[in-house]
Amino acid sequence: MNMLQSNKLLLPAVAMLALAGGYWFSSQFLREPVATRSVDLATVTVFPASRPLPALTLIDQDKQPFDFSSTRGQWSLLFMGFTNCGHICPMTMAELRAIHDGLPEPINVIFVSVDPNRDTPEVIRDYVRRFDDTFLGITGTSAELEKLASGIGAPIFVDTAADNYIVDHSSAVFLLDPSGALAGTITPPFDPERIAAELQTIM
């Protein structure tokens, strides 16, 4: 066999190897991020790209500084409310427990009190533990809570003029990705079983 014939046989083999190598590289390193995949979801809204949260100074239920970087490596569900809330907050927290329990993989559940005047760390700790010992409870100054609310698109209103004052907050649950960025939202009415099933396709 002469050199020309050898080259003719070699070129297709090289082309096949290059094609296979390109496919492997794209499958390993050019995978589309979870938050940008097209997923047919009915209850969970996933953003085209995750949105970083603003820098915040918060404290947890144990009076320790809290930073959302501490949740990195794991998905999180965040809900903003207050412990004196009549029925919306406890119902949502119970539904979050059902979602949490319905997932095969662990997920953080974070309760953010928007009523720091009444919800001390001790009060928040007792409140979240009614639902699950692993749930996180956090709060901060009114200014820091406003910053968080603005960052995730969840307006809050607290009027402390009266003793039994008014607190208005979003009823949505917010999905944070493993980097601690805002990845999506879940709005009521909540179907814990369906939400858990959809989260499994995202996580």
CATH of the domain at 149: 3.40.30.10
- Digit-coded pLDDT (tens) for 43-52: 999 999 999 9
Same domain, 130 and 141: yes
Same domain, 132 and 181: yes
- Digit-coded pLDDT (tens) for 105-146: 999 999 999 999 999 999 999 999 999 999 999 999 999 999
Same domain, 120 and 185: yes
Same domain, 102 and 187: yes
Same domain, 79 and 26: no
The predicted model scores a pTM of 0.80
CA distance 45 to 76: 14
Count of domains forming the chain = 2
Same domain, 76 and 95: yes
* pLDDT of the residue at 1: 52
Same domain, 27 and 58: no
Give Cα separations from 181 to 35, 51, 72, 151 (angstroms).
Answer: 10, 5, 9, 10
Same domain, 106 and 153: yes
Same domain, 142 and 42: yes
Give Cα separations from 203 to 31, 107, 117, 197 (angstroms).
Answer: 15, 9, 36, 10
Same domain, 27 and 40: no
* pLDDT of the residue at 11: 43
Average pLDDT, the chain: 85
CA distance 56 to 42: 32
* pLDDT of the residue at 93: 98
Same domain, 125 and 192: yes
Q: Look up the domain containing 55 and give its range.
A: 34-202
Least confident among 122-131, 162-171, 190-199: 162-171
* Pick from 160, 159, 137: nearest CA to 89: 137
